[in-house]
């Protein structure tokens, strides 16, 4: 059961669909938008001829030409700064930052320029840019290829922060982001590019095609998943679990292991945040567990915890709990010790329901 999920027939202008992994779904979304709007263009490090380090842009330069999909120098600040200028003059650029870990040299451009342009110009200019970037761990990328910086961008007024957890949402959210008139940081969980991951590294990995997950069925045409609309992936009455990205699948496994009748909410975007869906769920269950891969201290889970406490205090039957990465750099050799897995979530759920 998935609530708050747009109907494929309602959302898609072309109802034919096929099974896709997340890479293919993102590629399809870019293809649709390049074909639909001549103002859309793609650029970044190795995104042209090479098709991107994860092949998300593969074939697009050949199809749309060098002016619509092209390589950029190794300068993240220059990539984002150029995109802001293009956006201010009517284009809809979709720049790629090769890894989210590399985005910090462009932080000033995102915060001081992209996020502020509409305010600064009194609405005369804006920056309709969608910054795509892979994030998160689970692939043994070490401390410089595994970070989860979503809280940094969620803190910036004027930026939207979007994080898909499956192929269907990835394409629909990407299209909605590109068509938005606001700057969007679109974080792609690279652990999920080829298949779902439940946080059990000893299990045989599944591709999206053989996972049995309905979200691998992706319409070929144009459709949107609205920004700021969470999805209830699993109804429940004993606890609410909030997650996004890779942690959505870890949450499924943790809930199964715990035996707790927990409701699972995939946030999809953290800015804008679907606080109404969260509040309704927590008021029903009386318990809230927040799951994210980023370090605990200063993570977005702290903001979620505060929002839930402010709105649901009289309904809480147990303290709000956070299951997160540890406050340390992402360790290469001890990746699975750092990674918030289903065992830790199951323990937190049992503690919450047993609280008296």
Beta-carbon count within 10 A of 214 CB: 11
- Residue 7's pLDDT is 39
Q: Which of 163, 194, 219 is the last residue of a domain?
A: 219
- Residue 175's pLDDT is 99
User: What mean pLDDT is predicted for residues 231-255?
Assistant: 98
- Residue 139's pLDDT is 81
- Residue 258's pLDDT is 98
Statement to judge: residues 236 and 192 lie in one domain: no
- Residue 8's pLDDT is 41
User: What mean pLDDT is reported for the chain?
Assistant: 94
- Residue 5's pLDDT is 53
Statement to judge: residues 161 and 252 lie in one domain: no
Least confident of 6-15, 37-46, 251-260: 6-15
Q: Which of 172, 191, 219 is the last residue of a domain?
A: 219
Specify if 7 maps to a domain.
Answer: no
What is the residue-wise DSSP string for 262-289? EEEEE-SEEES--HHHHHHHHHHHS-EE
Specify if 324 maps to a domain.
Answer: yes
**Active-site residue 145, yes or no?**
yes
Least confident of 5-14, 119-128, 163-172: 5-14
Model confidence at 215: pLDDT above 80: yes
Q: Any idea which residue has 């284009």 for tokens?
A: 91
Catalytic option among 145, 222, 249, 292: 145
User: What mean pLDDT is predicted for residues 124-131?
Assistant: 97
- Give the confidence band of 13 by pLDDT, cuts at 50, 70, 90: very low
Collapsing DSSP states into helix, strand and coil, what is residue 246? coil
- Residue 145's pLDDT is 86
Name the residue range of residue 289's domain.
231-354
Q: Are 30 and 42 in contact (CB under 8 A)?
A: yes
Specify if 48 maps to a domain.
Answer: yes
- Residue 126's pLDDT is 94
Statement to judge: residues 194 and 54 lie in one domain: yes
Specify if 154 maps to a domain.
Answer: yes
Specify if 3 maps to a domain.
Answer: no
Half-sphere exposure of 81 (CA within 13 A, CB side): 11
Statement to judge: residues 184 and 63 lie in one domain: yes
Specify if 129 maps to a domain.
Answer: yes
């Amino acid at each position: 059961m998935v609530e708050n999920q747009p109907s494929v027939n309602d959302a898609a202008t072309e109802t034919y669909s096929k099974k896709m992994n997340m890479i293919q779904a993102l590629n399809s979304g870019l293809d649709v938008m390049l074909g639909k709007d001549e103002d859309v263009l793609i650029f970044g490090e190795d995104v042209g001829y090479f098709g991107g380090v994860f092949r998300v842009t593969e074939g697009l330069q050949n199809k749309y030409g060098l002016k619509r999909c092209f390589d950029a120098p190794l300068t993240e600040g220059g990539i984002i700064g150029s995109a802001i200028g293009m956006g201010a003059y009517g284009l809809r650029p979709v720049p790629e930052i090769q890894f989210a870990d590399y985005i910090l040299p462009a932080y000033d451009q995102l915060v001081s320029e992209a996020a502020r342009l509409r305010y600064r110009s009194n609405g005369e200019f804006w920056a309709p840019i969608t910054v795509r970037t892979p994030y998160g761990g689970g692939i043994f990328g070490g401390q410089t290829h595994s970070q989860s910086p979503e809280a940094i961008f969620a803190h910036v007024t004027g930026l939207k922060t979007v994080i898909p957890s499956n192929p269907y949402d990835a394409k629909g959210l990407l299209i909605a982001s590109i068509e938005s008139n606001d700057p969007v940081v679109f974080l792609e969980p690279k652990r999920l590019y080829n298949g779902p991951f439940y946080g059990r590294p000893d299990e045989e990995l599944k591709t999206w095609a053989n996972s049995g997950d309905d979200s691998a069925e992706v319409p070929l045409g144009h459709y949107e998943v609205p920004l700021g609309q969470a999805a209830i992936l699993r109804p429940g009455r004993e606890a609410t679990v909030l997650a996004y990205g890779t942690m959505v699948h870890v949450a499924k496994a943790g809930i199964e292991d715990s035996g707790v009748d927990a409701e699972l909410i995939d946030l999809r975007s953290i800015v804008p945040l679907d606080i109404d869906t969260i509040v309704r769920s927590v008021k029903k269950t009386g318990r809230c567990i927040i799951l994210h891969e980023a370090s605990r201290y200063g993570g977005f889970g702290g903001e979620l915890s505060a929002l839930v406490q402010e709105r649901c205090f009289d309904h809480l039957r147990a303290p709000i709990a956070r299951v997160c990465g540890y406050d340390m750099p992402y360790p290469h050799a001890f990746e699975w010790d750092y990674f918030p897995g289903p065992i830790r979530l199951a323990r937190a759920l049992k503690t919450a329901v047993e609280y008296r």
